């Protein structure tokens, strides 16, 4: 026998509120910061968010729209050179730039907010 669910619809109801996707715990700015860090790191590591399955955000598409394509050619030429230190410096500088671009672009995104809400629920 299963218990009947409360269907009062109140967002603060301990029985049906969580069943309707409402949370009693609100994410803090720290939750948002952690969520943004996780999303940006995952995008830089795997090229998309989420890391598996259907992408809600694709790094290739983002860079295609927001970055001058000459940067890709410069990185390619640098990778052919024998000066590996210069390539590392260029790569690190480019990664820092793209990281900042992603942080600014994704700060108010729905999937960062959803992840922040998940972090709040875990506490």
| Domain-embedded: residue 104 | yes
- 8-67 pLDDT, tens digit each: 666 666 656 555 555 568 999 999 999 999 999 999 999 999 999 999 999 999 999 999
pTM score of the predicted model: 0.75
pLDDT of residue 71: 84
Per the structure, the complete domain to which residue 104 belongs is given by: 26-122
| Domain-embedded: residue 102 | yes
| Domain-embedded: residue 8 | no
DSSP string, 8-56: ---TT-TTTTGGGT--SSPPPHHHHHHHHHHHHHHHHHHSEESSSSS-S
| Domain-embedded: residue 20 | no
Whole-Å CA distances, 17 to 4, 9, 25: 14, 7, 12
Instruction: Quickly state the pLDDT bin for 79 (edges 50, 70, 90).
Output: confident
Please check the confidence at residue 91 and state whether its pLDDT lies above 70.
yes
Q: Work out the average pLDDT over 1-13.
A: 58
| Domain-embedded: residue 58 | yes
pLDDT of residue 2: 46
| Domain-embedded: residue 13 | no
Structural domain count, the chain: 1
What mean pLDDT is reported for the chain?
86
| Domain-embedded: residue 18 | no
| Domain-embedded: residue 86 | yes
């Amino acid at each position: 026998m299963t218990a009947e669910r409360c269907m009062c619809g109140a967002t603060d109801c301990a029985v049906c509120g969580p069943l309707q996707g409402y949370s009693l715990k609100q994410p803090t700015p720290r939750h948002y910061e952690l969520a943004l860090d996780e999303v940006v790191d995952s995008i830089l590591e795997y090229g998309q968010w989420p890391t598996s399955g259907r992408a809600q955000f694709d790094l290739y598409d983002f860079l295609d729209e927001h970055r001058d394509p000459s940067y890709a050619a410069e990185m390619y030429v640098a990778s052919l050179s024998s000066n590996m230190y210069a390539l590392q410096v260029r790569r690190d500088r480019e990664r820092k730039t793209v990281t900042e671009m992603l942080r600014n672009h994704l700060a108010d995104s729905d999937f960062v907010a959803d992840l922040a809400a998940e972090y709040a629920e875990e506490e």
